[in-house]
Amino acid sequence: MTWSFETDPEFQDSLNWIEEFTTTEIEPLDLVFRGPGDPWDPNSPAAKAMAPLRDIVKRKNLWACHLERELGGQGYGQVNLGLMNEILGRSRFGPSVFGCQAPDSGNAEILAKFGTPQQKAQYLAPLLNGDIASCYSMTEPQAGADPGEFTCTAVRDGDEWVINGEKWFASHARFSAFLLVMVVTDPDAPIHKGASIFLVEQGTPGMDIIRNSAVGPYIEQGDGVHAYISFKDCRVPAQNLLGEEGEGFLVAQTRLGGGRVHHAMRTVGVLRKALDMMCERAVSRQTKGERLADKQMTQEKVADAYTMMTQYRLHVLYTAWLIDKHKEYNREVRLEIAAIKAATPKVLVEVVSRAMHLHGSLGSSDETPLATMWANIPELGVVDGPTEVHKIAVAKGVLRGYTPHDGLFPSYHTPTLRQQALAKYGHYLEP
């Protein structure tokens, strides 16, 4: 096994270009388009502003880099994708300008793998091109982290499936061309064998959005992008079942692993941005005759933030390297993904709160990006499953490698080990 922390020089040139492009062309979008759906909604004025930038990215062969070559990606691998995403994470618009925005990125992978030729022609090509948006809807109002509590069902009726029930926090549903909806198709089976994923076209009779929630206190309530949806006798054609009946969770696996790693990669970008702001402030602000940067308590904040960010960054890149190595989301990879997913809100709290604190009143105000960063932290502790659930997965994965030790005292009991060691080396103690 080889270890390397080098970036391929040719890809480094691309990263340098991405950094420059993100700073000069993309980050200004954040200051102009501030609606909750702006980076994803094809009908938002921001989409028009993004169009020429997307063309440049496509010409540079950097569009939708998460995709394999057969789907039009570049096959750069997860490590390079990680290095790229940590730059894109500086802006809400970064992923959309580079064609790797959630949930479209994962939904495209599902459609590519399980869609019919007709579905691919109708939806996959425009989705990959960034012309339409899509939604992945699984959570229900009474149940999120535990799919065993799901009650939204689909029942086969001739050539159709009839969906009844409710879904909650379905991001981007209101402007999506289609939704991928996970529903119970066999209530008697355990949920992991009794749920299926259906493609539901926007406008299908029987599907209605009850309201749209936003994350954080947006002034216009109802303007959010996370839909509360009702399905009442909503009929979809039989061919809209993606994958086999009862295999919804297998189909969903296609998207979740990659999505979680990409979130983590972009979090590195947020952390770096917070650290940059913190350091600029520390060397700029004078107090009691010296710079904030000269005060030891500031130095401790900078050192802690830098160390935590670097530990997290290396863990994310290590996980990306494992995915590249194994070419699948095997047990080892899933453990690391769960670990970085659980670490994400914690490292953000640690770094962003230090950066805000060092900025004093300005840090709490709406005049730096810090307050928005802060408001977005809690969602990263629940989206794609709460921290607790990922910690359970980590602990189970770690403990799986251990077996109980027979005997009254543990295998590392020093007096016992010393007896064995003396038997081996004790004669050297004799005069």
> Which listed range, 92-100, 105-113, 386-394, 414-422, lies at the site for ligand FAD (CB under 6 A)?
386-394
Which 3 state secondary structure label does DSSP give 143? strand
Nearer to ligand FAD, 63 or 169 (CB): 169
Q: Check binding of 137 to ligand FAD (CB under 6 A).
A: yes
CA 139 to CA 20: how far, in whole Å?
A: 38
Window contacting ligand FAD (CB under 6 A); options: 6-14, 48-56, 326-334, 384-392: 384-392
CA–CA distance, 150 with 223 (Å, rounded to integer): 27
145 binds ligand FAD (CB under 6 A): yes
Binding flag, residue 382, ligand FAD (CB under 6 A):
yes
Q: Residue 396, interface with ligand FAD (CB under 6 A)?
A: no
Q: Is 198 helix (H, G, I), strand (E, B) or coil?
A: strand
Q: DSSP string covering 369-383, please?
A: THHHHHHTHHHHTTT
- Closest CB to ligand FAD among 248 and 385? 385
Closer to ligand FAD by Cβ: residue 202 or 416? 202
Q: Is there a cis peptide before residue 103, judged by omega within 30 degrees of 0?
A: yes
For the chain, the first-to-last Cα distance in angstroms comes to 46
Site string for ligand FAD, 75-114 (x = CB under 6 A): ----------------------------x-----------
Annotate 375-412 with b (16+ C-beta within 10 A) or e (fewer). ebbeebbbbbbbbebbeebbeebeeeeeeeeeeeeeee
> Could you give the 3-state DSSP secondary structure of residue 73?
coil
Out of 384, 395, 397, 416, name the contact with ligand FAD by CB under 6 A.
384
Should residue 388 be labelled a site residue for ligand FAD when binding is judged by CB under 6 A? Answer: yes
Q: Is 349 in the site for ligand FAD (CB under 6 A)?
A: no
Using the rule CB under 6 A, is 170 a contact of ligand FAD? yes
For residue 379, state whether it binds ligand FAD (rule: CB under 6 A).
yes
Minimum gap (Å) between residue 388 Cβ and ligand FAD: 3
Question: Is 367 a residue that touches ligand FAD (CB under 6 A)?
Answer: no
Any residues with CB less than 8 A from the CB of 389 and at least 6 apart, and which? 145
Q: Which of 344, 405, 340, 329 has its CA nearest to residue 378?
A: 344
Minimal distance in Å, beta carbon 222 to ligand FAD?
A: 16
User: Any contact of residue 385 with ligand FAD (CB under 6 A)?
Assistant: yes
φ, ψ dihedrals at 287, nearest 5°: -150, 135
Which residue minimizes CB distance to ligand FAD?
A: 144
Map residues 150-169 to x or -, x wherever contact with ligand FAD holds by CB under 6 A. -------------------x
Report the alpha-carbon angle 149-153-157, nearest 5: 160
Q: Does 209 bind ligand FAD (CB under 6 A)?
A: no
Strands 286-287, 290-291: pairing is antiparallel
Q: Which is nearer to ligand FAD, 137 or 254 (CB)?
A: 137
Q: Which residues bind ligand FAD (CB under 6 A)?
A: 103, 136-139, 144-145, 169-171, 215, 226, 379, 382-386, 388-389
